[in-house]
């Protein structure tokens, strides 16, 4: 089996050759379509195990199907904006099957220790608690006041808030991600296991975050809602690629990290909203941040338990996730026009202090302390090496970041479709 792709004059060949991860990825057998960045060319293949050999072409995604599409070229055109743009091989089901039993045996533990982190619907806040009441006589006046407050918000702040809102709005992807995890997934869609009920109720709590930010931003009149809605549709269509390989070890380390990252970024947008004089928005972002903190506490507790029961495999998982780097959930963001929109959004978040490279190092340092990683005992010699590697990372990240910030290149400003193509400083 071989196939040839033409991409803007660059030929890339994909040959049937077992890759280093192929033996760990039974699903790779069904790969049948490859898409190369800006490819307009043709491809022919039969479902087979693939390994990509191309140094020039940027592999933008692998679509897994069980059969070849009827009209491949049409399919490439149609899906070209939806395929993941990552350049690594997608590994699946890397956790040995016997470990699944470990998670099944933890169902009662999760019932007693994790499910209580959820709030009942009756005790939960709802977006409407923070928004003008549309059935009241004073609705229009309330909206007017909201818009007066929001008029003071600077463009770079709006970019961060929109980026955070779009990230929250891609929630279907995150529930999908949790349900990729072996041993804890919701097998039926209404499963009564504690893991499945946690995932659904967590999703239901998270659903209010995007709703609230979306409605608030709509009412401000400061942002281009249609292009934002397109960005959300593209993002959900693209999915995400956290490289968690169906493993709850990797998956819960990822979610621990991400819940803390969102706690930090929503906390920073809350603080900044207050500085800009919008106390209502500060309350909104602060309330969302508190949810993220509660979720972080639940996910870090799961990983704490894994360290207790299985320190070696858990430290390997932490090492693995850190070597791969924790990708942001919305890393495949696209607005239909700007392929760099996520990078630009990240730059603005870095410059304004909403979420920074220092935060990334701080989160890891926090998690190392939270899980007592430095003092883990009973590790194998390989486990001890992983422990040393992980414990040295926060300082390494900080040094690398310092160096990188001194030699920063690239445009100083950029325009964002979300705010009607107004320019904001990137660095
Ligand atoms: Fe959230
Ligand atoms: Fe969250």
Average pLDDT over residues 163-168: 98
**Bridge partners, residue 424, by sequence:** 414
Higher model confidence: residue 408 or residue 343?
343
Higher model confidence: residue 71 or residue 247?
247
| Per-residue pLDDT at 402 | 86
pLDDT interval class at 41 (50, 70, 90) = very low
Residue 294 C-alpha to ligand 1 middle, in angstroms? 11
Catalytic residue among 89, 262, 314, 356: 262
| Per-residue pLDDT at 89 | 80
Structure tokens at 68: 């070849």
| Binding-site annotation: residue ranges | 168, 206, 209, 259, 292, 295
pLDDT interval class at 66 (50, 70, 90) = very low
Cβ within 8 Å of residue 59, ≥6 positions away: 12, 34, 36, 37, 52, 87
Of 12-16, 144-148, 204-208, 411-415, least confident by mean pLDDT is 12-16
Of 69-78, 182-191, 244-253, least confident by mean pLDDT is 69-78
Count CB-CB contacts under 10 A for residue 80: 16
Residue 307 C-alpha to ligand 1 middle, in angstroms? 26
User: Which ligand is located closest to the Cα atom of residue 254?
Assistant: 2
Of 44-48, 296-300, 335-339, 380-384, least confident by mean pLDDT is 44-48
Summarize pLDDT for 107-121 with one digit per residue, the tens: 999 999 999 999 999
User: Which ligand is located closest to the Cα atom of residue 260?
Assistant: 2
Residue 40 pLDDT > 60: no
Residue 164 C-alpha to ligand 2 middle, in angstroms? 11
Summarize pLDDT for 68-104 with one digit per residue, the tens: 333 444 444 444 455 555 557 889 999 998 899 999 9
Count CB-CB contacts under 10 A for residue 337: 11
Count CB-CB contacts under 10 A for residue 76: 22
| Per-residue pLDDT at 6 | 32
Cβ within 8 Å of residue 1, ≥6 positions away: 15, 16, 45, 46, 48, 50
292 catalytic per annotation: yes
Residue 295 C-alpha to ligand 2 middle, in angstroms? 6
Sort residue 118 into left (φ over 0), alpha (ψ -120 to 50) or beta.
Answer: beta
| Per-residue pLDDT at 85 | 59
DSSP 44-101: ---S---EEE-SSSPEEEEEE-SS--SSHHHHHHHHTTTS----SPPP---S-HHHHH
Find out whether 219 and 147 touch, Cβ atoms under 8 Å: yes
129 catalytic per annotation: no
Residue 167 C-alpha to ligand 2 middle, in angstroms? 10
| Binding-site annotation: residue ranges for Fe cation | 168, 206, 209, 259, 292, 295
Residue 172 pLDDT > 90: yes
Of 87-96, 99-108, 137-146, 347-356, least confident by mean pLDDT is 87-96
Ligand 1 is a single-atom ion; what residues have CB below 5 A from it? 168, 206, 209
206 catalytic per annotation: yes
Cβ within 8 Å of residue 340, ≥6 positions away: 414
169 catalytic per annotation: no
Residue 357 C-alpha to ligand 2 middle, in angstroms? 19
As to burial, measured by CB atoms within 10 angstroms (0-12 exposed, 13-18 middle, 19+ buried), residue 167 is buried
Average pLDDT over residues 392-404: 92
168 catalytic per annotation: yes
Residue 167 pLDDT > 70: yes
Find out whether 150 and 281 touch, Cβ atoms under 8 Å: yes
Phi and psi angles of residue 2, each rounded to the nearest 5 degrees, phi first: -150, 155
Count CB-CB contacts under 10 A for residue 131: 20
266 catalytic per annotation: no
Average pLDDT over residues 290-318: 98
3-state secondary structure of 151: coil
Residue 213 C-alpha to ligand 2 middle, in angstroms? 14
Higher model confidence: residue 138 or residue 52?
138
259 catalytic per annotation: yes
């Amino acid at each position: 089996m071989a196939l040839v792709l033409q991409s803007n004059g660059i030929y890339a060949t994909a040959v049937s050759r077992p890759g280093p991860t192929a033996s760990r990825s039974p699903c790779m057998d069904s790969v049948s379509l490859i898409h190369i960045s800006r490819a307009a060319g043709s491809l022919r293949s039969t479902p087979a195990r693939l390994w990509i050999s191309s140094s020039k072409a940027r592999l933008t995604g692998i679509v897994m199907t069980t059969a070849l599409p009827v009209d491949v070229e049409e399919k490439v055109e149609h899906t070209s904006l939806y395929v993941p743009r990552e350049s690594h091989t997608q590994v699946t089901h890397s956790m040995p099957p016997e470990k699944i039993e470990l998670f099944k045996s933890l169902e009662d533990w999760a019932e007693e220790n994790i499910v209580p982190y959820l709030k009942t619907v009756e005790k939960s806040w709802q977006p409407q608690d923070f928004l003008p009441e549309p059935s009241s006589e004073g609705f229009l006046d309330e909206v007017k006041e909201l818009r007066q407050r929001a008029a003071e918000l600077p463009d770079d702040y709006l970019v961060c808030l929109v980026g955070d809102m779009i990230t929250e709005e891609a929630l279907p992807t995150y529930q999908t991600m949790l349900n990729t995890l072996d041993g804890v997934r919701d097998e039926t869609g209404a499963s009564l296991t504690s893991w499945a009920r946690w995932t659904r109720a967590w999703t239901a709590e998270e659903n209010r975050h995007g709703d609230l930010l979306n409605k608030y931003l709509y009412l401000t009149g400061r942002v281009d809602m249609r292009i934002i809605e397109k960005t959300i549709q593209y993002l959900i269509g693209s999915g995400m690629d956290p490289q968690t390989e169906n493993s709850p070890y990797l998956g819960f380390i990822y979610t621990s990290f991400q819940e803390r990252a969102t706690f930090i970024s929503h906390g920073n947008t809350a603080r900044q909203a207050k500085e800009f004089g919008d106390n209502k928005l500060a309350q909104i972002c602060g309330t969302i941040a508190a949810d993220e903190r509660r979720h972080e506490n639940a996910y870090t507790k799961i990983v704490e338990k894994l360290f207790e029961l299985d320190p070696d495999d858990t430290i390997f998982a932490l090492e693995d996730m850190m070597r791969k780097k924790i990708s942001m959930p919305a890393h495949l963001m696209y607005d239909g026009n700007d392929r760099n929109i996520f990078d630009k959004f990240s730059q603005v978040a870095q410059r304004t202090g909403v979420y920074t490279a220092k935060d990334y190092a701080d989160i890891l340092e926090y998690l190392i302390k939270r899980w007592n990683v430095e003092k883990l005992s009973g590790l194998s010699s390989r486990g001890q090496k992983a422990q040393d590697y992980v414990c040295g990372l926060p300082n390494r990240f900080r040094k690398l970041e310092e160096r990188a910030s001194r030699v920063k290149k690239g445009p100083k400003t950029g325009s964002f479709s979300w705010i009607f193509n107004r320019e904001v400083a990137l660095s």
